[in-house]
Amino acid sequence: MVFLRDISNDEAAPQWTTAEINWSPWGRRIVRRGWFMWLRTVLRRRHSRVVLSGLSDHLLRDIGMTRAEAELEINKPFWSP
């Protein structure tokens, strides 16, 4: 992540760098928020794949998937979209 404030017309304004932001309390909140958003996404994927693994062939046909497509999705690693 790069957080730079570019003000080309105003030379007196301070420039932000990633190092300054990451060590400030404001920057740590951004990092934490990003981490929690990633964790939430990973947990949602896992939950979706667990539910998908429990569906019968009839229900898979209702959502337009075959058993083979469902197995491919279920066997993906958690970080894979």
pTM for this model (two decimals): 0.59
User: 49 and 76 in contact (C-beta within 8 Å)?
Assistant: yes
Q: What residues does each domain of the chain span?
A: 42-81
- For the stretch 18-23, contacts whose Cβ atoms lie closer than 8 Å and that sit 24 or more positions apart, written own/partner, are none
pLDDT per residue, tens digit, the chain (81 aa), is 444 444 455 555 555 555 555 555 656 676 777 888 889 999 999 999 999 999 999 999 999 999 999 999 999 988 888
